[in-house]
Amino acid sequence: MARLKRFSLTCLAALCLAGNAQAASQSLPTNQAVDTLSQQEHQHKVDQLRQQVRQAVAFNQTERQRPGGRASVSLQPMFSSQAGSWPFEPFVNNGLFRAIAGYQSRHPQVVTLRSGSITLAQLHDALNDPRVLKRYKDGYLLSYPLLIGPDAGLVLEGTSLYLSSFSGTALINQGWLGLNQSNLESMAGDQPGNTDRAWRPFVVAWAGSHTQVLHSTLKRLGYNANLSRGLTTALSPQQAASTRRATVVIKDSQFSDMSSAVELQHSQATITGSQFEQSQQYAIDVRDSQLNLQGNQVRGVDNNSGLRLRGQTQARVEGNLILGTAKAAIEVSEQQGPVLLAGNRMGDSRGNGIQLRNLAPTATAPLVIDDNLLASSQGTAVDASEVSGVALLDNRIGNTPEYAISLRNATPLPGPLLVSGNRLGQVGKALVRVEGVRDVVLGGNTYDGKPLLQNLLIGDLLPLQGQLLEATVRQGGTVRVRQ
């Protein structure tokens, strides 16, 4: 390791206005030290971090074949609280049973699949009851809820399945559900629903199940209630914590007009080449899961963020386009696993570009934001609070009225914050604001600011602004600021 050259700090602020009220109001730390790092040492650290995070977020997607043989089909009573009724219990009070009661005149029943797989055409013939399943347009209209048992599979190949909103229809998957070149959407019809609030059919896949959506379309599914927002995976309190994760594969598909298009809990999911348009809550909402999200497009989220990551999640989010979200393009909150955000393009968010809250990355679970383009957010491009450390590498950030990068901790946290190789400019306030991080590394960044009218570095870095810019911009070096 190259020898560090230490030098004492001076309170230089070469590019700031003496009368800047914001800077003057901050309490500035006095026990800071700056080290210079060799280019070789710095580049080694960056390369090592990139390799480390990719290894940490990598996983092999579990492949599951559909169950063999022909499934049996039966109509079974739905109980709200009884042995074996747990797949339905979460929906007792959210409108499903009331919607069913408006269509089924007797005790609610569910179509149940067991011991094998079945296509829609085979299911239609087996039921032979148009009140349950009938031919409709280019496929079939389902008017009863349908339960796919743990040893069963439902196969949609080159067809459409319409789920009746009036009758209380939902797909509940404990086994295998596969769509290939197919369409799944709700059908409201002209009959009034029998619920006291908005209600739409949904798909829920419990832990242990497999769901795949290939070259298919999902439309108008879900409403804002627990486990009912669109395509949802979850671990039931009635399932053992050791139950294997639900697996999800989505490829080259379209999701539109959903509450939350995909909501993942206790799952392993690969989502590639797909489009998510006009979601109400989130396009993709992930908690306690493994996620590989590559090459997708998110356009339009009415109420919240495009992508939210939480809990014990490991995520690779790469090469996606995220536009027009009500809050952040990407939100990471209360997150404890490794996350890589790389090569994404984000813009036109009415909140921040990337929002980070209450994160404590570790050496084995790093948080790396690498080679992204963030532009035209109405808040700050990268806004973080109560975050102990993050690496921002080779990003292009600009055209925002707030900050390019802002990290503020109420209580100082150890870091490190690594800001390297970024192009920052065209922001309304300072380019980089840092408060409450004990270890900050800066190097190779390009700053496009307004000399004498705009601070480039503020917060804890303000007393060192001139010194840091001299070392990193004019001399092209890398510095480490420690408290």
Give yes or no for a contact between 410 and 436, defined as CB atoms under 8 angstroms apart. Answer: yes
Output the 3-class SS for 339-369: EEEECCEEECCCCCCEEEEEECCCCCCCEEE
What confidence tier does 22 reach under pLDDT thresholds 50, 70, 90?
A: very low
What confidence tier does 6 reach under pLDDT thresholds 50, 70, 90?
A: very low
The yes-or-no verdict on residue 401 having pLDDT over 70 is yes
How far is residue 158 from each of residues 111, 209, 299, 376, measured CA to CA in Å? 22, 22, 26, 40
Residue 198, pLDDT score: 65
Distance from C-alpha of 310 to C-alpha of 304, rounded to nearest angstrom:
14
How far is residue 236 from each of residues 78, 110, 208, 246, 266, measured CA to CA in Å? 17, 19, 11, 11, 10
Mean pLDDT of the chain: 90
Residue type, 437: V
Distance from C-alpha of 374 to C-alpha of 343, rounded to nearest angstrom:
10
Contacts 24+ apart (CB under 8 A), 243-246: 243/207, 243/208, 244/207, 244/208, 245/62, 245/207, 245/289, 245/290, 246/205, 246/206, 246/207, 246/208, 246/209, 246/210, 246/211
Distance from C-alpha of 166 to C-alpha of 189, rounded to nearest angstrom:
7
pLDDT tens-place string over residues 424-476: 999 999 999 999 999 999 999 999 987 667 889 999 999 999 999 999 999 99
Picking from 364, 461, 448, 362, the residue whose alpha carbon sits closest to that of residue 407 is: 461
Following DSSP, what letter does each residue of 122-169 receive, concatenated?
A: HHHHHH--TTTEEEETTEEEE-S-EEE-TTEEEEEES-EEEEETTTT-
Residue 31, pLDDT score: 79
- Characterise 266 by phi-psi region: left (phi > 0), alpha (psi -120 to 50), beta (else): left
Distance from C-alpha of 71 to C-alpha of 383, rounded to nearest angstrom:
51
pLDDT tens-place string over residues 219-258: 999 999 999 999 999 999 999 999 999 999 999 999 999 9
Cα pseudo-dihedral 253, 303, 312, 294, rounded to 10: 30
* Rounded percentage of the chain residues whose pLDDT exceeds 70: 90
- Residue 473's SS3 state is helix
The yes-or-no verdict on residue 95 having pLDDT over 90 is no
pLDDT tens-place string over residues 137-190: 999 999 999 999 999 999 999 999 999 998 989 999 999 999 999 999 999 865
Tokens of 16: 């700031």
Identify the weakest region by mean pLDDT among 16-30, 159-173, 306-320: 16-30
Give yes or no for a contact between 199 and 193, defined as CB atoms under 8 angstroms apart. Answer: yes
pLDDT tens-place string over residues 317-336: 999 999 999 999 999 999 99
Average pLDDT of the residues in 406-419: 96
